[in-house]
Amino acid sequence: MAKNMNDLVIISVDDHICEPPDVWEKHATGDAKETAPKFMTDAQGKNYWAYMGKQYPSVGLNAVVGRPFEEYGMEPTNISQLRKGCYDVHARIDDMDINGIAASLNFGNSIAFNPRIFQNAPNKDHAIRHISAYNDWQIDEWCGSYPGRFIPCAILPTWDMNATVAEIERIAKKGCVAISVTENPTVIGLPSIHNDYWKPFWKAVNDHDMTICLHIGSGNPAPHASMETPIEAWISTMPMSIAVGAADWLQLKVLHEYPDMRIALSEGSIGWVPYFLERCDFSNSRHKAWTHSLFQDTKPSELFKRHFLNCFIDDAFGLKNINDIGEDMIAYECDYPHSDTLWPQVPERLWETVQILTERQIDKITHENAMRFFRFDPFKHFKREELTVGALRAKAEAKGVDTTPISSGGSKPLTDEAIRPITSGDIMTMFEAHAEKNNA
């Protein structure tokens, strides 16, 4: 058990990779290689992904780790503006070490964050192969370069259920047990999670002991009040947007049929969970008599605590209410390289926050719950003492890993009036302008 900050073992269950330019060059094969996503540069020097006749402008959405705070934003738009650890696995390990992170689960960031872009491709047969190529890169190259330091996470061609089941079976043989799917498939034109369309998916997931990850922004939008709303208001409420998907998934009939099914609410935080569960139970008690609810003898909160892992970046209030969430269903996430990440000071902030917990609870939320939930054991590859904050930082410091903030070339205000707060509309306009230039 951890006795001090340097003795912590920290596993992050939510980080991101800004997809390197050569993912599909290396792993797509045959005729599908010609139609695979290609990393491009426009006349303004901005990078983008070109894919089957469409262009996707963001190569590092909110990947601002290592910048001065005044240069934070929702871009960058060129790979040169990114810290190398965003896209280079060897540099990522250095950044994990200096941050005391023993292991990490990585989602895509732009082109492969979820299967939406591939589903919209005109050649669906090639799109399926492009997803498999991405998964091969994630499992074999990124995670395979450092066994025991990464938890592989795959995406699926969910518009084709036969292909989805086949891909689950294929990646399971590679040892991948985490899959990222949209929290609301109806927003990408697929049947809802309550439709029989998904029956083969549920069976395959449970047959192969997979963990389902529902990341905020993968389906249900994180709403903002208006285009004139200061962007800070939008950012403040983003984690709580996952509650809509959580309520929907909690009503899944298959949760009653598959008692070992595991669902991670990625980047959703935890402070909202106690009230959410209280409200679910209250609503059920008042309405189950007429709604034909699935919850007649079991409370929604009981099922939630059995199936759902709650993941947090910084949530002191949630940890104060750990008994109402469940100490076995909470895990830490770093969110590198996004603006919420506390890199390179995760251990300091986390150690301060967990002082209200017991030593046993600290071990659970820092690594043990993640190990159990994702069927992942880094100690098959390393001794515990090699993965502590102190040991990892000592290794990084010996290599001279530099954490000095690096300017991307100067902050460029998005507003005409320097004193006006940046708004949601400013951010949307920025993306639209870039997309228009690329598609011109």
Mean pLDDT of 255-270: 97
**DSSP string computed for 229-259:** SBHHHHHHHTGGGHHHHHHHHHT-THHHH-T
Confidence of residue 369 (pLDDT cuts 50, 70, 90): very high
CA distance 280 to 308: 14
Quickly state the pLDDT bin for 25 (edges 50, 70, 90). very high
pLDDT value for 437? 45
Provide CB contacts within 8 A for 352, sequence distance 6+: none
Band of pLDDT at residue 439, cut at 50, 70 and 90: very low
Question: Binning pLDDT at 50, 70 and 90, where does residue 110 land?
Answer: confident
**Per-residue pLDDT, 431:** 65
Over residues 173-185, the pLDDT tens digits come to: 999 999 999 999 9
Residue 292, Cβ density class (10 Å: 0-12 exposed, 13-18 middle, ≥19 buried) = exposed
Look up the domain containing 431 and give its range.
5-439
Tell me how far apart the alpha carbons of residues 322 and 365 are, in angstroms, rounded to a whole number: 10
What local confidence, expressed as pLDDT, does residue 436 receive? Answer: 41
Amino acid at 44: Q
The domain total for the chain is 1
Percent of the chain with pLDDT over 90: 84
- The C-alpha atoms of residue 435 and residue 440 are separated, in whole angstroms, by 8
| pLDDT reading at 414 higher than 60 | no
Phi, psi of 47 (to 5 degrees): -85, 155
pLDDT digits (tens, 9 = 90+) for 205-252: 999 999 999 999 999 988 888 999 998 998 999 999 999 999 999 999
CA atoms of 158 and 160, how far apart (whole Å): 5
User: pLDDT (tens digit, 9 = 90+) per residue, 26-69?
Assistant: 999 999 999 999 999 999 899 999 999 999 988 888 899 999 98
Q: What tokens were used for 414?
A: 């998005």
Mean pLDDT estimate for the chain: 93
Residue 416: is its pLDDT beyond 90? Answer: no
Residue 289 burial (CB count, 10 A) = 9
CB atoms near residue 357 (< 10 Å): 17
Q: Which pLDDT score is estimated for 93?
A: 98
Residue 21: its pLDDT value, please? 96
CATH assignment at residue 255: 3.20.20.140
Mean pLDDT, residues 432-440: 48
Q: How far apart are CA 385 and CA 362, in angstroms?
A: 17
Task: Give the whole-angstrom CA distance, residue 353 versus residue 62.
Answer: 25
Dihedral (CA of 218, 220, 226, 229) sign? negative
Pair type for strands 153-154 and 211-215: unpaired
Of 328, 349, 353, 331, which Cα lies nearest the Cα of 340? 349
